[in-house]
A and B are shown apart, each in its own frame.
Chain A
C-alpha cells in the first residue's frame, strides 16, 4: 500500500494546456515537497509547503497543501515542452525529527509542441 498516492501516473498534453497533479494520503505530513526528475539525474526540489492551506507559486507552477496536511496538488498553467519530466511529491511524516522522505509513485508528464 502506497502511503502517498500520486495521480495521474502518466499525462500527455499539448503545449499551452493546463494540468493538475494530485498527491493524496490518509496520513498527516509535517511538510510536503515537490520534485522534478530528469532521466539519469536525481530529483531536484521545486518547492516545500509546510502550513495547511498554504499556496506557493513558482512562475507557471502553483502548489497547494491541503488544510489537513494530508494532500497536495501541483498545477501548471500553459505547459511548455520544457516542463516534460517526472514529477514527484514527497512528504515528511509528523513523527520524524529529520527529513526522512516518503515519495509518491511519480507522474510522467509529456508536453508535445
Chain B
C-alpha cells in the first residue's frame, strides 16, 4: 500500500516568499505530525493533528508558520515571509491510532532552501 507522501520534494524560495508544503498521510490514519529537521540534526516537533483538530502547535517557531488539516486527511504546512533560518527538511508522519506508543510512518520530507 501507499506510504506517506509529501510534495514538493524540493523547494527553493527567495527570502520573503510564502511557501506551502503538502502531506498525504496513509489513508485512515488518525494522527498526523509535522517535524522540522535541520542539517545534521534530529527532527524537532512542530505540530500535531488528531483528525482535523490541531491539538498541539507548541513547536511552531513563530506566527509565520501555520498548519491545517481541514478534512482530517491531507495536511498543509504554510510558511509566510520565509527567512534563511527556515531552511530545513520538513517531515510529515502519520499513525493509525492516537495512542502515544503507536508507530509513526514518516514521509520522505520536503527540503526547503531559502535564499
Do A and B make up one complex? yes
Contact B100 A96 (CB under 8 A): yes
Any chain B CB within 8 A of the CB of A113?
no
Given contacts A6-B42, A102-B45, contact A44 B100 (CB under 8 A): no
- On chain B, which size bracket covers the interface? 20 to 34
- A to B contact number (C-beta, < 8 Å): 73
Give the distance to chain A from B88, nearest Cβ to Cβ, in Å: 13
A45 touches B41 (CB 8 A): no
In the complex, A102 Cα to B56 Cα: how many Å? 14
Cβ contacts under 8 Å, B106 to chain A: 42-44
Complex contacts, A100 vs chain B, CB 8 Å: 33, 45, 48, 56, 100
Contact assessment for B45 and A48 in the assembled complex, using a CB-CB cutoff below 8 Å: no
B26 → chain A, closest Cβ, in Å?
12
Docked complex Cα distance between A99 and B29 (Å): 13
B91 touches A98 (CB 8 A): no
- Separation of A31 and B103 alpha carbons in the complex (Å): 11
Q: Cβ of A6: which chain B residues have Cβ within 8 Å of it?
A: 42
Binds B, one of A12-20, A61-69, A70-78, A103-111: A103-111
Which residues in A have their C-beta under 8 angstroms from that of B43?
43, 88, 90, 101, 103
Please determine whether B100 and A97 come into contact, CB atoms closer than 8 angstroms. Answer: yes
| Interface size range on A against B | 20 to 34
A99 in contact with B42 (CB, 8 Å): no
Q: Is the CB of A90 within 8 A of B42?
A: yes
Report the bound CA distance from A41 to B111 in whole Å: 11
Q: Is the CB of B56 within 8 A of A99?
A: no
Whole-angstrom distance between the Cβ of B113 and the nearest chain A Cβ? 14
A30–B101 contact, CB under 8 A? yes
- Is A82 an interface residue, CB under 8 A from the partner? no
Chain B residues positioned under 8 Å from A28 (CB to CB): none
Q: Is the CB of A79 closer than 8 A to any CB of chain B?
A: no
- Is B25 in the interface zone, CB < 8 Å from A? no
Q: Which A residues have a C-beta under 8 Å from some C-beta of B?
A: 4, 6, 30-31, 40-45, 48, 50, 88, 90, 92, 96-106
* Chain B residues within 8 Å of A, Cβ to Cβ: 4, 31, 33, 35, 40-45, 48, 50, 55-56, 91, 93, 95, 98-104, 106-109
